[in-house]
Amino acid sequence: MNAWRKTLTAAGRPQTRAEELLVETAPARRILHVDMDAFFASVEQKDDPTLRGRPLIVAGSEKARGVVAAASYEARAHGIRSAMPTSRALRLCPQVLRVPPRHERYHSISSEIADVLRSFTDRIEPLSLDESYLDLTECCLSRRTSLQTVAREVKQAVREKTGLTASAGGGPNKLVAKIASDLCKPDGLLVVAPARVRDFLHPLAIERLWGVGPVTARRLQAMGIRTIGDLATRDPRHVEGQLGRLGIELHGLALGIDERDVVTFHETRSISAETTFATDQGTREPVAAMIASLASEVAERLDHHGFAARTITLKIRYPDFTTVSRSCSFESRLLNASELTARALELLGRTEFPQRAIRLVGVGAAGLVDAERPVQLTLPFDSYCDAPRISPSPSASATPPREPSPSASATTPHEPSPSATTPHEPSPSASATTPHEPSPSPSATTPHEPSPRLAQTAQT
């Protein structure tokens, strides 16, 4: 990041109109947010032409209290959304087609998308399997072409390679790019010029702002703030008085100031599987059987990729949706299928089960290494990342707290996120979450409801 720009915004936002003008006239970055449309559902429709043009959900079975991972746009017309229980989706649209998720297939397409994006720039920050930020500043400047033009090329290249549509939003920062791509879905392209940022942001509902979930939105609404523009025109000291540091950060964002860099390294991925029981389980036998089945699924996927794991995590959700995870790591040993199961069952002993019944259970493997050559690595689908990163602390870490939005509080039908631990013998870590207001701290960042971080925490 430009040094003077960072200094200017070190207090979270420009302090004077003169500083504001300087920020406005700074050489603008060209940030693009690319997000595949109805990703899992579109992959299914691409692979099976009989599913095309029909309401479709990729979801677990309603009998097993499954939830919707992805809904085709035809299904969304009936009000079906991600994270909704499958049973509710079926009530909304009895003729909806349901297919179970095929994660390997989505990972493989994600890898193809990554290859396409990398042909435009190395400055890529993947957020999930189907979503990335690209910093196209150098690409645009060296080619003397506009962000709009490059964005159009990116969309076309993704379509040619995968047969799928992506939506792309562009602007001088991540905040604008992400909101723009959300607004132009599906198959859209919306680029916001720096001079138009405030015109673009200000009419939007305050919930669109990064870090504003239902709880914060209610607090802002109680202050008479309904749009981003309402917040931008408030005295920041007043907002700070009401919301503390979060208020200051949100006020800066409302002014269109977001200095976060596109971060090109990424955490080492994990392989995991989880399931929600049809009814809450209070006895050991069915829970242990499910853990064994999930562990062998994880082991199979590790095998398929040629990976071995040094860390295992057990994730448990109690009936009140409180979620905990327990992990242990091994420096000198790799975990095979039976060890994964055995360790996961040991970890079960460190939960409140059976005093508390269990709604959901998940098994995750992290600390992935090449099974043949045990060196820490990343999965193929994020092979464009600069370097893997492991949390340096094995101590208890909070799973990202999220607003109790539907996507956060309902079961996500795949991939628990085990807390990373440094490899040593064996090192337990625990994390617990209850659905509550997100903290503005950096550790609260998630792709779904990220916490705002301004210049003072931006990485250069």
Q: Of the two residues 23 and 38, which places its CB atom closer to ligand DCP in the complex?
A: 38
The token pair that represents 291 in the structure block: 């853990």
- Among 260, 264, 258, 126, which Cα is nearest to 194's? 258
- Among 61, 56, 60, 39, which Cα is nearest to 413's? 60
Interface characters, 80-109, with ligand DCP (x: CB under 6 A): --xx--------------------------
- Interaction of residue 405 with ligand DCP, rule CB under 6 A: no
> What residue type is assigned to position 64 of the chain?
A
CA quadruple 297, 299, 303, 307: dihedral positive or negative? positive
112 is catalytic: no
- H or E segment and range at residue 411: none
**Contact assessment for residue 22 and residue 14, using Cβ atoms and an 8 Å cutoff:** yes
Q: Which of residues 413-442 bind ligand DCP (CB under 6 A)?
A: 413-414
Which residue reads 């959700």 in tokens? Answer: 317
Least distance from ligand DCP to the Cβ atom of residue 83, Å: 4
- The catalytically annotated residue of 44, 131, 240, 297 is 131
- For every residue of 156-192, DSSP letters joined together read HHHHHHHS--EEEEEESSHHHHHHHHHHT-SS-EEE-
Q: Of the two residues 114 and 243, which places its CB atom closer to ligand DCP in the complex?
A: 114
Tell me the number of residues near Mg ion by CB under 5 A: 4
Q: Of the two residues 184 and 390, which places its CB atom closer to ligand DCP in the complex?
A: 184
Which residue reads 């060890």 in tokens? Answer: 339
Tell me the number of residues near ligand DCP by CB under 6 A: 19
Interface characters, 31-60, with Mg ion (x: CB under 5 A): ----xx--x---------------------
Rounded to whole angstroms, the Cα distance separating 286 from 262 reads 45
Q: Which of 8, 9, 23, 39 binds ligand DCP (CB under 6 A)?
A: 39
Q: Which of 57, 69, 96, 175 binds ligand DCP (CB under 6 A)?
A: 69
Least distance from Mg ion to the Cβ atom of residue 58, Å: 12
Rounded to whole angstroms, the Cα distance separating 67 from 105 reads 19
Phi-psi category of residue 375: left, alpha or beta, with phi > 0 → left and psi -120 to 50 → alpha: beta
CA quadruple 446, 449, 450, 451: dihedral positive or negative? negative
- Interaction of residue 381 with ligand DCP, rule CB under 6 A: no
- Interaction of residue 347 with ligand DCP, rule CB under 6 A: no
- Interaction of residue 35 with ligand DCP, rule CB under 6 A: yes
Q: Which of residues 144-203 bind ligand DCP (CB under 6 A)?
A: 185-186
Contacts to ligand DCP by CB under 6 A:
35-40, 69-70, 82-83, 128, 130-131, 185-186, 407, 412-414
